[in-house]
Structure 1
Amino acid sequence: MFRLAIFLVLPLSTIAQSYKNISLGSTLTTSDVTDFWPSPSGDFPFGFQRIGNGSSGFLLAIWFNKLKEKTMVWSANRNNIAPEGSQVELSIDGRLVLTDPNGQEIWVRDMARAGLVYRAMLDTGNFVLANSSSGIVWQSFDEPTDTIFPGQVLDQRSRLVSSFSSMNASTGRFELFLDGELALYTIKYPIDATNDVVILRNIEKKKKTDV
């Protein structure tokens, strides 16, 4: 069964809530999934989640921490699983980078020229990179996966793509976005095909369903 979600949490405003600032040079590794960067209330952690029971693969993710299932609401590398020994770092030069054990980049957001000084996990479910004036230079809300939150803006560049299944967080067969109106599309590819981000451009217009 695919998963698209609208998360009904009543958040504090971004301006009013407190930040738990995470300074440059901070790291997380897959060797300890109990180590993560939490929001002030602890509702939303940012860190690594193992994929499936006994799997050696990990997602860099945000999840809702108040449920036993630790429901994931965002991930950076859903189509490029990180192996055991990977780490994420907010480097001194202002890059948020996920690397494998050999130092190869799996996912990166480069904010070196934006004057990045810290990052923070907010109680809204949003993970932000901010400059010295507390201005947001990048946020996870700008790159949703399969979940949207109250207060999150879904513009015409944004896409919500369902997970392949409840046990597979990679991109699935359904896409929600604004096309003059809020619409749900099916993505054209065989159900047993290997997931590929490129397939998101190949949409069957005839299977449009308004929601």
Structure 2
Amino acid sequence: MRKYTFLFSLAAVFFISCKSDKKNKTEVVELTVLEKVANAHGFEKWNNLKELEFTFNVDRDTTHYERSWIWNTRTNEVTAMSATDTITYNRKSVDSLSMKTDGGFINDKYWFLAPYNLIWDKDNFTFEHTTEAVAPISNTPMQKLTIVYGSEGGYTPGDAYDFYFGDDHLIKEWVFRKGNATEPSTMTTWEDYLDADGLKIARMHKNKEGNFKLYFTNIKTVTE
């Protein structure tokens, strides 16, 4: 009886040890660069959000333009507010009347939450990661992530974006290249970060010459 008890105990210890080793191995999951950049900007907090409000502003030379958005992230209802109109629609049923407004929302939301689109859109683009690059505005050594969207679907198919960031994976500069052109269409900084219930938002984007500013105000979040 003692012999069997000893063998059973030994087998139990072996089983627990194997189970523990297996658990330790499965816990080590290397994140992709897309996930690292998204998480650095608070993507893991996104599911806590119920509603998001922000105003999109553009200053070009002496002109100013702005429009505001309220987005119910659970129902996908969007309210657009400009100097002339207030329009509410649902992104689940965009029609010919709301398509122009939705195109504006997609543009403004992309500037606002581009790091999250690295996860949301990952099946729609190819990407390349370079660990040693030079940021185009500051001429500072940084990492570079290039994504190129597919040629079909969306409002601007085939476009490319170059994200520049440091070891903290927070974006510092980016380049937009329409239709994956060689030359930049737009090139700005990412700065003045705000922590809004865990979401890290770059409120200010400036070009190299200083005559263009795109920025966000009236940022409000509603969480559970």
Normalising by the smaller structure, the TM-score range is under 0.3
Larger radius of gyration: 2
